[in-house]
Amino acid sequence: MGGSGTSGIVRFASDSGENFAVVLGVHNYARWCDIVTDIPTTQTATTLQPIYYAANSAESAAQASLISSNLPVYSPRKDIVNL
């Protein structure tokens, strides 16, 4: 990432079929992150990024300048991102 206003997505797929992505970005020179779960197997990080931004998820995460993100308590799996 080249500076403020940039972001990227890393998509993960497990052998059990679970798919999730870690979204990392820089907004006003503050880093932020988020986790996206339950991604269809046909969806790549390239197709996910515009959808993520259209849902205003990036704006929420960026404005909060999240430096960590957790999945909700009801999730059977514990995914944590710390910057």
Write the CATH number of the domain with boundaries 6-69: 2.60.270.20
**pLDDT at position 74:** 44
Instruction: Delimit the domains of the chain by residue range.
Output: 6-69
Over residues 31-48, the pLDDT tens digits come to 888 888 888 888 888 988
Q: Which two tokens stand for residue 70?
A: 């957790």
**pLDDT at position 3:** 73
pTM: predicted TM-score of the whole model, two decimal places? 0.67
**pLDDT at position 27:** 80
Query: Residue 29, Cα to own-chain centre: how many angstroms?
Result: 18
